[in-house]
Structures are given as structure tokens and as C-alpha cells.
Chains A and B, each alone.
Chain A
Amino acid sequence: DAGVTQSPTHLIKTRGQQVTLRCSPKSGHDTVSWYQQALGQGPQFIFQYYEEEERQRGNFPDRFSGHQFPNYSSELNVNALLLGDSALYLCASSSPGRHNEQFFGPGTRLTVL
């Protein structure tokens, strides 16, 4: 049983560019959450998707947007990249009715130059 998978593993972009990160949830899970983990910090909640709609959002600007597809996979898009967007982006999935039991993927390391 594959766990949560994310792609790509690493990504280097320059300021002002746009980036798309991808996530496939664990089998049987229908909810996807995204977190940003800056170096030396704990993960911070960005947003959560269920039934292709954003259900909760953390304190992140509109430059951060997402999407969930009918197969429950998800994308995180970040526009107009800033140096401060450099971080590990973690995707987590959860099963119906157990949204606080989240399983994390390995993350995508984004570096903005």
C-alpha cells in the first residue's frame, strides 16, 4: 500500500516565478492538507481540500492556491515567488471522518533564488 507521494522531490526557482507541487494521498484517503516547513521551524498549515473544495485555510496570502482532482490528488500552486517561500512543502492525507489523523508525504524542497 503506497503512502502519500509527492513530486518533485526538489525544485529550484527564481523570484517572481510560479511553481506547482503535486501530491497523491494514501489509498482510501479523501482529504489532503498542505503545510509549509521553513528551515528550523515546525510545519505551518496552508490549506485543506476535500471534495475538490478548499475547506480550511491558514494564514497564507492568495499567492498560495490549490486544487484537488476527482481522484483525490492535489496540487499546490505558488505565484510570484519570494525568497521567503523557500521551504519544505509537506502534503498530508486523512481518511473520511478522521481528519486529525494525518499521514505525511516526504515533502518537496523548494529553493527560491
Chain B
Amino acid sequence: AQSVTQLGSHVSVSEGALVLLRCNYSSSVPPYLFWYVQYPNQGLQLLLKYTSAATLVKGINGFEAEFKKSETSFHLTKPSAHMSDAAEYFCAVSDQGTGFQKLVFGTGTRLLVSP
């Protein structure tokens, strides 16, 4: 069975500081990995995805994540936080392949950005 663990339910940073949100996965097969962002009272928006090509993945809004198989990690980073980055972030895992897939989500990390 696949699972995702997000370390830290809340992360606080100052505007302009580095953002680091942690995600570790467990999967018996090669995974695809995703980061989604959720703003208050909204659905999920895909930030970036790892699909076994490059291990360093760049996404929208200046975010990027690195797949590290040896550490079973897929941490999300952004060099400089902006107030508009304040939101809930979810890491998710699925099987590779083109068959029917479901996403298994972590419990989320709320990012707080202070001026």
C-alpha cells in the first residue's frame, strides 16, 4: 500500500525566507509524486509532479521539488516566500502507469507567511 507522510502540520516563515515543506513516501512500486496547494474554501491546484523523468521538478509560482529515492523523499521548496503563498499544501502519491490511478494524500501542511 502507498502512503505519504508530511512532517509538520504547520510551517511558519517570514516573507522573503526559504520555504521547505517535507514529504516522505512509502510505495512498493515506482511512484509518481505530486504537490497540490489549497487556498481557503477552494479545491486543489497542482503545483508540480514527478513522473520519473528529471528528479528535480519545477512547478508553478516558483516552487520546485526534488525526488530522492534513497531517502524516499519529495520535499517542496521555494527560495523566497511571498504573502500569497500562505495556504495548505498536500503531497500525494500514485502508481506509475497509464491504468486507472488514485491519489493517496498526506494530511497536509499549512504554510503561514508573516510580513
Q: Is the CB of A100 within 8 A of B105?
A: no
Residue of B nearest to A43 (CB): B105
B10 smallest CB distance to A (angstroms)? 11
Check A100/B43 contact, CB under 8 A, given A43-B105, A45-B102, A48-B100: no
Question: What are 20 A-B interface contacts by the 8 Å CB criterion?
Answer: A33-B102, A33-B103, A35-B103, A35-B105, A42-B92, A42-B108, A45-B102, A50-B100, A92-B103, A98-B98, A99-B100, A100-B34, A100-B95, A100-B96, A100-B101, A101-B49, A103-B46, A104-B44, A105-B43, A106-B42
Q: Is the CB of B102 within 8 A of A43?
A: no
* Bound: A108/B99 CA distance, A: 27
The prevalent SS among residues of A at the interface is strand
Give the A-B contact count at a CB cut-off of 8 A. Answer: 62
Interface string of A28-52 (1 = CB under 8 A from B): 0001010100001111110010100
Check A41/B100 contact, CB under 8 A, given A103-B46, A105-B43, A106-B42: no
Cβ contacts under 8 Å, A8 to chain B: none
- The number of chain B residues with a CB under 8 A from chain A is 26
Q: Does A107 contact B (CB under 8 A)?
A: yes
B interface vs A, CB < 8 Å?
32, 34, 36, 41-46, 49, 90, 92, 94-96, 98-108
Starting from the known contacts A40-B107, A58-B102, A100-B103, 15 additional A-B residue pairs (CB-CB under 8 Å) come to A35-B105, A42-B105, A42-B106, A42-B107, A43-B44, A48-B100, A50-B100, A92-B44, A92-B103, A99-B100, A100-B94, A103-B46, A104-B44, A104-B45, A106-B43
- The number of chain A residues with a CB under 8 A from chain B is 29
| Listed residue (A41, A43, A56, A58) with the most chain B CB atoms within 10 angstroms of its CB | A43
Q: Is the CB of A45 within 8 A of B98?
A: no
Q: Does A55 contact B (CB under 8 A)?
A: yes
Q: Is the CB of B99 within 8 A of A99?
A: yes
* Bound: A105/B44 CA distance, A: 7
Q: Does A102 contact B (CB under 8 A)?
A: yes
Cβ contacts under 8 Å, B103 to chain A: 33, 35, 43, 45, 92, 100, 102
Check A44/B43 contact, CB under 8 A, given A97-B98, A101-B49: no
